[in-house]
């Protein structure tokens, strides 16, 4: 996924952020302005979405979309326009959770409900229109003070909380603009993986049905809901052309053909 600036009427490289000149065939001319676009692929199709006319808005949109595409958070439910300025935060949370419950899985709903309850316990403002960048920054601070099972929260967990809260409030009309550098950096934790001999011992202790479903998870990287809704039509035989649905292909995320598991 990339952020691409698209300028109207002319193209070129930015010469200076101060004088707003661009170069066309080596000659500086005044910029006509333009729009940043997110350029990415979704279900195999290329998509471009306008994300504003300045780099700050574009970076914020890129960070949010990246979190959606990598599964860190789920996409927002569709909303029908912005609410009135008198919408309370409590009503906004209720509206958002109703949409999530109607369109997402029960685990996603429970997670969002839990994170929004945490947000409400630390935000004492009444109206959505009162929310701003300062509220998001205070949530980062509060997250670092949280102790769970005797240990502080991981920064990635804190960032995910704030992303969910920003999604919810923005979908209800809040205007919360984050600055470059606002998001704390996270440290990627080294993940311990099972060795082949350990997997062999594990699968040897499973029943045939358990072994099959666990191998599907292992070879595809599917989430629980994706595996639960997997149908025979999603799995191509070695003689058939690769089948696909709106949300998944018969070839898994890891590149492993699913039909090999069902031989």
Tens of each residue's pLDDT in the chain, 263 residues: 555 555 443 333 433 443 454 444 555 555 455 666 777 777 777 777 776 666 666 777 777 777 777 766 666 554 444 445 589 999 999 999 999 999 988 889 999 999 999 999 999 999 999 999 999 999 999 999 998 888 888 898 999 999 999 999 999 999 899 888 899 988 777 778 888 899 899 999 999 999 988 888 888 888 787 788 877 777 755 443 443 444 444 444 444 455 455 55
In a 13 Å sphere around the CA of 38, the CA atoms on its Cβ side amount to 20
CA gap 250, 262 in Å, rounded:
12
Q: Where are the beta strands (DSSP E) in 155-255?
A: none
CA gap 79, 96 in Å, rounded:
9
Any idea what DSSP says for residue 89? H
Nearest to 176 by CA among 132, 233, 212, 127: 132
CA gap 263, 258 in Å, rounded:
10
Residues 6+ apart with CB under 8 A from 165: 115, 116, 119, 136, 139
Which secondary structure element, helix H or strand E, spans residue 153, and what is its range?
none
Q: Where are the beta strands (DSSP E) in 73-148?
A: 147-148
Q: Where are the beta strands (DSSP E) in 90-170?
A: 147-148, 151-152
pLDDT for 55: 65
The distance from CA 195 to its chain's CA centroid, rounded to whole angstroms, is 30
Please state the pTM of the whole predicted model: 0.53
pLDDT for 101: 94
In a 13 Å sphere around the CA of 238, the CA atoms on its Cβ side amount to 5
pLDDT for 120: 95
Q: Cβ(8)–Cβ(33) under 8 Å?
A: yes
pLDDT for 171: 92
pLDDT for 194: 86
3-state SS, residue 77: coil
Quote the tokens at residue 70.
């990598």
């Amino acid at each position: 996924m990339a952020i691409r600036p698209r300028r109207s009427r002319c193209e070129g490289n930015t010469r200076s952020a101060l004088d707003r000149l661009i170069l066309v065939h080596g000659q500086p001319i005044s910029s006509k302005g333009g729009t940043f676009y997110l350029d990415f692929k979704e279900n195999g199709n290329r998509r471009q979405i306008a994300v504003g006319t300045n780099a700050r808005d574009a970076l914020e949109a890129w960070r949010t979309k990246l979190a959606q595409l990598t599964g860190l958070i789920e996409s927002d439910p569709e909303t029908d326009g912005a609410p009135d300025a008198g919408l309370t935060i409590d009503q906004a949370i209720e509206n958002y959770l109703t949409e999530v419950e109607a369109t997402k899985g029960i685990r996603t709903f429970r997670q969002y409900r839990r994170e929004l309850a945490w947000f409400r316990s630390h935000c004492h403002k009444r109206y959505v229109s009162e929310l701003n960048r300062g509220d998001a920054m205070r949530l980062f601070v509060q997250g670092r003070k949280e102790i769970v099972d005797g240990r502080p929260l991981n920064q990635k967990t804190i960032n995910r909380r704030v992303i969910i809260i920003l999604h919810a409030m923005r979908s209800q009309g809040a205007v919360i603009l984050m600055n470059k550098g606002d998001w704390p950096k996270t440290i990627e934790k080294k993940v311990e993986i099972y060795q082949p001999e350990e997997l062999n011992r594990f699968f040897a202790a499973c029943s045939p049905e358990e072994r099959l479903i666990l191998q599907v998870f292992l070879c595809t990287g599917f989430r629980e809901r994706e595996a639960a809704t997997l149908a025979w039509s999603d799995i191509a035989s070695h003689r058939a052309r690769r089948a696909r649905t709106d949300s998944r292909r018969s070839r898994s995320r890891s590149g492993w053909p699913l039909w090999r598991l069902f031989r």
